[in-house]
Amino acid sequence: MNERLVAYLDELDERTDWHRPDAFLVRADAADRLDLGQVGLRDATLTRRVVRLLDALDAVDRQLYESLRERIRAGEGRQALAPWLDVGIPSGQHYDPLDALLAGVLALDEPLPDARPLPPEMVFYQPTPARHIVDGLARGGITAADVVLDLGSGLGHVPLLAHILTGARCIGVERDGGYVDVATRAATSLGLSGVRFVEGDAREADFSGVDVFYLFTPFIGTVLRDVIARIEAEAARRAVRVVALGPCTRTFARQPWLVSDDPDAEAAERIVLFRSV
Ligand SMILES: C[S@@+](CC[C@H](N)C(=O)[O-])C[C@H]1O[C@@H](n2cnc3c(N)ncnc32)[C@H](O)[C@@H]1O
């Protein structure tokens, strides 16, 4: 077992490919293998070698994150992130290296825990896997002319990435003020003046002027029904799009005033786009 780990450490010492800042996926794979190699490892010298290499991989990652952050501040985020945006047909709710890259680039602080219990029918925080965000932006046809509202925005991955990649004006509404503070600080540190976060209940948020509503199943039951009724009222005034992920997709698929881009929307394992009719 240890021989294989030693051979891999020797190999990484020899290789130079992972030193290139843009070789993020190579480093992610190496870090995974080293983490796995550390499980049950009792040899202190070998453990130190693994930790040193993990630190070295992390140091190059940090260089990459900083250079991407600089390019985002310069308004070149889309081009800078382009090498990692070929997400194919995404499925599943697991996280992958694109999420790790996004976490490094957005550099979100750890939020303070919310002391209030989660009210009934409201769903705890879980971020949309980044590949689904990228897929949703493309399928939703989101452009700089759109206003996007993420209902239950958590730490803000969706509004932040949506703005970086499309230039759309993006708003997140979130009941947990700790998440709102973290997301707001991330937007400020990246110079993203087209993104803002509002603390509040999605049922009372300002929907006027919103073109695209994004929901990663933030609530269920009557809360979801109340929000859908408000979106429907907006759709009576202008065309709107709903971009949905997770179980709430089934409820949207049953709305007669929406048509979806997926004939099997109720069973979809990826984002579904709905347009008002
Ligand atoms: C599944 S997470 C989605 C987070 C984010 N939209 C994303 O996709 O990365 C649901 C979020 O909705 C928030 N939430 C739940 N009910 C809410 C409500 N009534 N109003 C505002 N936010 C709510 C939760 O606090 C949580 O952060």
Mutation choice for ligand 1 from 118, 171, 176, CB with most ligand atoms inside 8 A: 176
Mutation choice for ligand 1 from 216, 225, 226, CB with most ligand atoms inside 8 A: 216
Domain range for 50 is: 2-74
Tokens for 209, please give them.
């002027």
The answer on 191 and 140 residing in a single domain is yes
pLDDT single digits (tens) 10-69: 999 999 999 999 999 999 999 999 999 999 999 999 999 999 999 999 999 999 999 999
Q: How far is the CA of 225 from the centre of ligand 1 (A)?
A: 15
Shortest-distance atom of ligand 1 to CA 223: 19
The answer on 68 and 25 residing in a single domain is yes
The answer on 159 and 30 residing in a single domain is no
If one counts the domains in the chain, the total is 2
Q: How confident is the model at residue 266 (pLDDT cuts 50, 70, 90)?
A: confident
Q: How many CA atoms lie within 13 A of 246 on its CB side?
A: 17
The answer on 257 and 130 residing in a single domain is yes
Alpha-helical (H) ranges within 112-198 are 130-139, 157-166, 177-189
The answer on 136 and 44 residing in a single domain is no
Q: How confident is the model at residue 116 (pLDDT cuts 50, 70, 90)?
A: confident
Q: How confident is the model at residue 70 (pLDDT cuts 50, 70, 90)?
A: very high
The answer on 123 and 235 residing in a single domain is yes
Domain end call among 39, 74, 109: 74
Shortest-distance atom of ligand 1 to CA 114: 25
Taking the C-alpha atoms of residue 186 and residue 155, their distance in angstroms, rounded to an integer, is 9
Domain end call among 21, 46, 74: 74
Q: Which residues pair with 15 in a beta bridge?
A: none
Which CATH number do you get for residue 191? 3.40.50.150
The answer on 62 and 105 residing in a single domain is no
Cβ neighbours, 10 Å, residue 203: 16
The answer on 130 and 221 residing in a single domain is yes
The answer on 130 and 199 residing in a single domain is yes
The answer on 183 and 57 residing in a single domain is no
Position 129 scores a pLDDT of 98
Q: How far is the CA of 8 from the centre of ligand 1 (A)?
A: 42
The answer on 60 and 102 residing in a single domain is no
Q: Which residues line ligand 1 (CB under 6 A)?
A: 122-123, 125-128, 150, 152-154, 157-158, 173-176, 179, 201-203, 216-219, 223
Atom 11 of ligand 1, nearest CA residue? 152
Query: Rounded to 10 degrees, what is the CA torsion of 274, 276, 176, 125?
Result: -10
**Percent share of the chain, pLDDT over 90:** 93
Domain end call among 74, 95, 128: 74
The answer on 119 and 27 residing in a single domain is no
Mutation choice for ligand 1 from 121, 125, 198, CB with most ligand atoms inside 8 A: 125
Q: How far is the CA of 126 from the centre of ligand 1 (A)?
A: 8
Distance between alpha carbon 208 and the CA centroid of its chain, in Å? 25
